[in-house]
């Protein structure tokens, strides 16, 4: 892995020795985020003072989360919340529960959220958080106690106009209810807008659950449109069949595409003649752990977990975790196009390999921005106390997603740069302009 300190901008911007040491990224995702930022900033000719500001997060919080387990023992989990930038508005980004969560991962994802919100044109900055844990081994009551303890620990730095978290890996509407309820009790009044991704009965928004997957699929369909290709002739493979992947699959099938492979932690499910996606969706909806385990359909073959990445198809949607397509396996990818549903699924080295192969990539913070746009819709409705219909929600979401795709596609074509670089340049410029307008104030 190439350390960030080898970049000429890291040398030129005059950062302190301590900062340089900290930013020698040991986390793959943080390394990827910084490489993309410094590379785009250099190509843009961005002012070095702005690079210094935007290359660092405003706040990194680490907390201990004590939890009474069902057997009466006390376990201490580590929790994190990082706010990369609040230049444009409150920090925005999910909270994930996963054994590999650490502060560097959260910082990388917080930076990505800054660019994602900027590119989407919504009034948010970037944040991210999580707890290092394995929620699949915990009972519902243990997860509730952990969630409430974590909410209380990060309460001083979150708020409707300060930092608005949302669901992420292994969290969902139930966790958001526990968070909101805890914060509201601590503050003595209901504060529904402090978290988004809530269930509809509890200040949630119609359309929010499907928003990320709907947006990811929309970018894939827009890509086919600008390439003058009919979705009905397209084959699709989707890595990850959670919330994002499942709704991406449903949307693509509704558009006429054929989904030939899907996967989750239990393996890859491959059917060259097409998978019955509605059946797969019903399967995970009734499975105790929301998994594909035990799923079968006509002509479906179960393969190894990583095989999903090497399926022959038109569009590959990596909708699981970061770094899954890397320098070791990028050469084996057979898809013509990649639309990133997950955050950072393609490493920079793999990106270079794929680009040389002619694989066109729609970057994550464009493709999966439907989730944060949906969160913005929910937040706006919470602030006003007025709720939209699902039809209104989806119409506004698709309008924004199509507009954002066109912005990046046109920028890419006019500047002769890959879509990822075009997206970064457009997003960074908007934040930099606001930082410049506001100036430096402590």
Taking each helix axis from N to C end, the angle separating 390-415 and 208-226, rounded to the nearest 10 degrees, works out to: 40
Q: Are strands 337-339 and 360-362 parallel, antiparallel or unpaired?
A: parallel
Kindly report the backbone phi and psi dihedral angles of residue 241, in degrees, each rounded to the nearest multiple of 5, phi listed first: -120, 40
User: Could you tell me the two tokens for 62?
Assistant: 């680490």
Q: Which of 299, 322, 319 is closest to 308 using CA atoms?
A: 319
Residues paired with residue 389 on neighbouring β-strands, in sequence order: none
The residue assigned the tokens 């074509």 is 413
Cα atoms in the Cβ-side hemisphere of radius 13 Å centred on 19: 12
> Given 35, 92, 116, 128, which residue is catalytic?
128
Alpha carbons 423 and 244: distance in angstroms, whole number: 21
The residue assigned the tokens 């490493």 is 347
Work out the end-to-end distance of the chain between its first and last CA atoms, rounded to an integer number of angstroms.
34
Could you say which DSSP state residue 231 is in? G
Helix (H, G, I), strand (E, B) or coil at 163: strand
User: Could you tell me the two tokens for 100?
Assistant: 């590999």
Catalytic-residue membership of 128? yes
Q: Which of 421, 401, 233, 244 is closest to 315 using CA atoms?
A: 233
Confirm if 245 and 217 have CB atoms less than 8 A apart.
no
Helix (H, G, I), strand (E, B) or coil at 291: coil
Confirm if 146 and 179 have CB atoms less than 8 A apart.
no
Could you say which DSSP state residue 439 is in? -
Alpha carbons 264 and 344: distance in angstroms, whole number: 17
Distances from the Cα of 300 to the Cαs of 181, 295, 320, 398, in angstroms? 44, 9, 21, 32
Could you say which DSSP state residue 87 is in? S
Cα atoms in the Cβ-side hemisphere of radius 13 Å centred on 130: 28
Residues carrying an active site annotation: 128
């Amino acid at each position: 892995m190439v350390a960030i300190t080898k970049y000429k901008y890291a040398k030129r911007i005059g950062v302190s020795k301590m900062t340089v040491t900290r930013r020698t990224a040991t986390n793959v995702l943080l390394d990827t985020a910084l490489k993309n930022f410094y590379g785009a900033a250099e190509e843009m000719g961005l002012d070095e003072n702005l690079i210094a500001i935007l290359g660092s997060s405003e706040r990194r919080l680490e907390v201990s989360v004590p939890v009474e387990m069902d057997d009466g023992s006390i376990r201490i989990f580590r929790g994190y919340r990082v706010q990369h930038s609040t230049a444009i508005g409150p920090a925005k980004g999910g909270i994930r529960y996963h054994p590999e969560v650490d502060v560097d991962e959260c910082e990388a994802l917080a930076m990505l959220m800054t660019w994602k919100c900027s590119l989407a044109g919504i009034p948010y900055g970037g944040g991210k958080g999580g707890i290092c844990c394995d929620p699949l081994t915990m009972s519902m009551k243990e997860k509730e106690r952990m969630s409430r303890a974590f909410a209380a620990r990060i309460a001083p730095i979150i708020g409707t106009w300060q930092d608005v978290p949302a669901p992420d890996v292994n969290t969902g509407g139930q966790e958001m209810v526990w968070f909101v309820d805890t914060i509201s009790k601590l503050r003595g009044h209901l504060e529904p807008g402090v978290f988004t991704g809530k269930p509809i009965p509890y200040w949630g928004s119609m359309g929010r659950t499907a928003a990320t997957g709907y947006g990811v699929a929309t970018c894939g369909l827009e890509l086919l449109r600008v390439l003058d290709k009919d979705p009905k002739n397209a084959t699709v493979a989707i890595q990850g069949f959670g919330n994002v992947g499942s709704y991406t699959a449903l949307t693509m099938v509704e558009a006429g595409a054929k989904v030939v492979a899907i996967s989750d932690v239990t393996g890859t499910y491959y059917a060259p003649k097409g998978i019955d996606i509605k059946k797969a969706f019903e399967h995970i909806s009734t499975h105790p752990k929301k998994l594909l385990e035990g799923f079968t359909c006509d002509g479906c073959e179960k393969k190894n977990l990583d095989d999903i990445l090497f399926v022959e198809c038109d569009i590959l949607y990596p909708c699981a975790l970061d770094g899954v397509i890397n320098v070791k396996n990028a050469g084996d990818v057979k898809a013509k196009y990649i639309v990133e549903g997950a955050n950072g699924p393609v490493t920079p080295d793999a990106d270079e390999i794929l680009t040389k192969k002619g694989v066109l990539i729609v970057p994550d913070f464009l493709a999966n921005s439907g989730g944060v746009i949906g969160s913005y819709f929910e937040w706006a409705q919470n602030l006003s106390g007025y709720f939209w219909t699902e039809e209104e929600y989806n119409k506004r979401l698709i309008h924004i997603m199509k507009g954002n795709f066109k912005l990046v596609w046109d920028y890419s074509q006019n500047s002769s740069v890959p879509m990822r670089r075009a997206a970064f340049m457009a997003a960074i410029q908007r934040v930099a302009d606001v930082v410049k307008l506001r100036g430096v104030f402590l």
